[in-house]
Amino acid sequence: MKNRPPYAIASVDAALLLATLLQQEGPMRVTDAAGRLGVSGSTAHRLLGMLVYRDFAEQLPDRRYGPGPLMRGGSLPQEPVARLREVALPHLHRLVDELGETVNLMVLAGADVRFVATVECAHVLRVGDRTGRTLPAHLSSGGKAVLAGLPPAELDVALGGLDEDAVSRLHRELRTVRRRGFAVNDQGTEAGLIAVGVAVPAGAGLPAALSLAMPSVRYSRDRLSEWGTALAAAAAAIGGGASPGAPAPRQPR
């Protein structure tokens, strides 16, 4: 896990995040970009202008801004990602209210997962916004949850960059994930961070997952079943396009 630099330049961070959002979610208006970044409209307009100047964005005929020539290679399908995020956000907010920890939505992109939405909890000590970040799928909780559901041929492709021992260890872990229905990342990507992940059913249109992320000081093995159940219910609702108030689908006995 890469940590935020101690002397981060806010404007650079905002521009890079905006470029990532355009790539992942597709065209945005200035007001959309301002809302996503939490900045003023004039600031968003200046950031977009610089991205256009450097070919990271381009202005479309309808005055929205889309990803530019430098951002088109290897991008995620924009319409499904934006639609998935829109459907998932109310469920992410409900999970944070219910469980009191930060919740993420991520999608599989080759051998990695990309975070496309985060809702932070209210604790002073908390896991922060991961939107736009990328992690190896085999290390993250959500990534492992998605990998556990892939057909063998697709799984082999996703694990193609790992050595034989790592693949063997992961296959053993994935069998546990399939049995329990959720995956755990116990400080595998960042010291002091533990996450629980559940795959979103295929109805979402993309291989996606939810994760509940927390500082290790608030982690409890006794709550794993509770966390896994709550995440699975939200994931099922997202996969079915249901609103947060809709009843959860009945599980087969």
* pLDDT band at 231; cut points 50, 70, 90: very high
pLDDT at 251 over 60: no
* pLDDT band at 252; cut points 50, 70, 90: very low
Say what the pTM is. Answer: 0.73
7 or 240, which is more confident?
A: 240
What CATH number labels 78-240?
3.30.450.40
Q: Tell me the average pLDDT of the chain.
A: 89
* pLDDT band at 7; cut points 50, 70, 90: low
Would the CA dihedral through 18, 19, 21, 22 be positive or negative? positive
170-223 pLDDT per residue, tens = 999 999 999 999 999 999 999 999 999 999 997 667 899 999 999 999 999 999
The architecture in CATH of the region 10-71 reads Orthogonal Bundle (1.10)
Percent of the chain predicted with pLDDT > 90: 71
54-89 pLDDT per residue, tens = 878 989 999 999 988 777 555 566 668 888 999 999
pLDDT at 248 over 50: no
95-115 pLDDT per residue, tens = 999 999 999 999 998 888 989
Domain boundaries, the chain: 10-71, 78-240
Q: What is the mean pLDDT of residues 144-158?
A: 94
